[in-house]
Amino acid sequence: MLEFLIYLFTFIIGSIIGLLYSYKQHGEPFVVNGLNVVMCVISIIGWMMIINGQFSQILVAIGLFLVGFVMGERPGYGRLETLIGLVIAVIVYVLINLI
């Protein structure tokens, strides 16, 4: 039970920090300006830690923080980065478990 509270807490803290970072970075209304590579890499790393770090609570907590950071951006930002990170992490998980 305590580990789930830690996971929830790290995700919420990541979301709050991501929102503050996003407001500092983007002062304008939502403008589609392509893929944010840095956020995409953070999302890929976070999802990889969540999906592939099943036996390490620390890796899952850090992964939830990173994913929360990307998902917690201002509305409209971070959607594509989150999707790409999730798809790549699932593909890697399937490839690792097939071999």
Domain count, the chain: 1
Give dist(CA 43, CA 78) in Å, integer: 9
17-27 per-position pLDDT tens digit: 999 988 888 77
Q: 22 is in which domain, residue-wise?
A: 2-26+35-98
pLDDT of residue 29: 73
Say if residues 50 and 64 touch (Cβ distance below 8 Å).
yes
Residue 99 DSSP class: -
Q: Would the pLDDT of 32 be above 70? A: no
Percent of the chain with pLDDT over 70: 97
Give dist(CA 18, CA 38) in Å, integer: 13
Give residues with Cβ within 8 angstroms of 42, minimum separation 6.
Answer: 66, 69, 70, 81, 85
